[in-house]
Structure 1
Amino acid sequence: MSREHEWVDEEAGPVVRPYAVTRGRTKPTSSSALDLLATVVSTGLPAPAKSELGFQHRRLLTCVAGQSKPVAEVASDLSLPVAVVRVLLGDLLDHGLVTVRPPRDKAAAPSESLLREVINGLRAL
């Protein structure tokens, strides 16, 4: 059996505590703010030879390969706590394997009145 399958039980789910995945770390090493709505995308660069990337790091890279996703969605897709995903993302940022973009500015978001007009227009159809 391969090593990545030792950590998952088909019925019970993950059998390893989240802190074991992050080697006991609770905060990312990267100084970048990893907001829940910040978007993550793979840079496509190969992992450095001396990097100690685990199975969950590789899963995260696969999850964001070729598409930009918010941190919260990545955590959901991987079925991992957001705090764990932030630590893993920090590791990947340190190696230059992902890019994180801050969430959109609230000023660029549509106003509530515009959204209500769209909803009312859709209801009228």
Structure 2
Amino acid sequence: MSVLDVDGGHWFDDAAGRLIRPYTVSDGRTEPTIRMDLLSMVIATGRQPQGQLGPDHAQALRLCHGVTTVAEIAARLKLPAVVTKILLSDLVDWGVVDARSPDPLADSSNPAVLEIILNALERRL
């Protein structure tokens, strides 16, 4: 049985999930135009997009009304992170969203951060 998600305008099937495949959403693109991490912060600039946005771009833009992360938007869109990054990079290119990389100290793959976490854990044990 299929249902229409009125808020997002996407069709879902109870068994199959989203009926529009991610590669369709990104027009087959596999890389965003700007570098973004899952922890990158995005926010709408308040500028109006030129022309009409597609449903996925419009929904992503609505989710950027306050500062939020790429990971949060991907979860709310129910899309893979790379597809979400492509949508958001389009919005940044069009000037309707601003994106900031996370603080290097917040990067969990940064050896300095890992050492700080390890030292904190050792102190607790």
TM-score range, shorter chain: 0.7 to 0.9
The equivalent of 2:20 in structure 1 is: 16
CA-based RMSD of the aligned residues comes to 2.7
Question: How high is the sequence identity, in percent, across the aligned residues?
Answer: 35
Bigger strand share: 2
What residue is the counterpart of 1:35 in the other structure?
37
Aligned counterparts of 1:72 and 1:11: Cα–Cα separation in 2:
24
Q: TM-score, normalised by structure 2?
A: 0.74
What is the distance in 2 between the residues matched to 1:42 and 1:26? 23
* Structure 1: runs of 5 or more not aligned: 121-125
Q: Secondary structure at the match of 2:82?
A: helix
Partner of 1:83: 82
- 1:63 maps to amino acid: L
Q: How many residues align?
A: 112
Cα distance 1:105–1:45, how it changes in 2: closer, same or farther (>3 A)?
same
Which 5+ residue runs of structure 2 have no aligned equivalent?
107-112
Displaced runs of 4 or more, over 2 A: 111-117
TM-score w.r.t. the length of structure 1 is 0.74
Query: For the structure 1 residues 44 and 116, does the alpha-carbon distance in structure 2 shift closer, same or farther, using more than 3 Å as the test?
Result: farther
What SS class does the counterpart of residue 73 from structure 1 fall into?
A: helix
Matches within 5 A, 1:1-125: 5=9, 7-9=10-12, 11-12=14-15, 13-28=17-32, 30=33, 32-49=34-51, 53-65=53-65, 67-106=66-105, 111-112=116-117
Q: Which residue does the alignment assign to 2:109?
A: none
